[in-house]
Amino acid sequence: MTTERLNELFNSSTSNLAICVGSWFAYTSCNEHALGSWHNGSFYIDFEKLEGSEELMEVLEALGWSEQEREELFIQDYQGEPIFEGSNCDYINPAHIADIIYDNGVDLDRDAKKLAAIMEYTGEDLEDAIEKLDDYDFYEDMTGEEYEEQLVCDCYPDFDFDKLGWLGGYVTIDYEAMARDDDSIYECEGGVLVTR
């Protein structure tokens, strides 16, 4: 593990998922690694750049972590998208998360908000949410009403109330009711999740 690669992995200020990796052994021993992964002023490893658990172990070894410290890892803290919101990070192994993201080729720039929405909607963990990425569409920064209005415009592009003559002034579409009655959408933090 080169210093350049360590610097790259710990340069995580713009990452969608940066994790401070903790060790239960280090934490309970109150040793120098008790506060988690640390390099060059940063505690957070960029998991978007990390190439699986094997590289994570190389990082920790380069930081001087013993084999015993690398055995029982947990997510001490994280920054970025709320992928683990509502989860007990004390029981999530970051090495497993590194493999899930790397092995499945997850693009967190594109899919982080969608994954968080799937997890919020289904109550499932990150691994199950990744498996269901293709089952949903996600419309960021949109309400259910806005989604229904866009759907009507897309499905009926030539529809014009003016074509109804004087009656057109009295006809409206209740997009709020459409959103409320549409079982295929889920309005969540940051957008609308739609079942395919």
b/e sequence 142-162, b meaning 16+ C-beta within 10 Å: bebbbbbbebeeeeeeeeeee
pLDDT band at 117 (very low <50, low <70, confident <90, very high): very high
Q: Give me the chain's average pLDDT, please.
A: 91
Taking the domains of the chain in order of start, what are their residue ranges?
3-112, 139-195
The secondary structure of residue 16, as a DSSP letter, is: S
Concatenating the DSSP letter of every residue in 120-132 gives: HHH---HHHHHHT
The SS3 assignment for 164 reads helix
- Which residue in the block uniquely carries the two structure tokens 């699986």? 52
Section 19-47 average pLDDT: 95
Query: Over the stretch 129-153, which tens digit does the pLDDT of each residue have?
Result: 999 999 999 999 999 999 999 999 8
The pLDDT score that the predictor gives to residue 189 is 81
* pLDDT-above-70 percentage for the chain: 99
Residues 135/141/146/150 CA torsion (nearest 10 deg) = -60
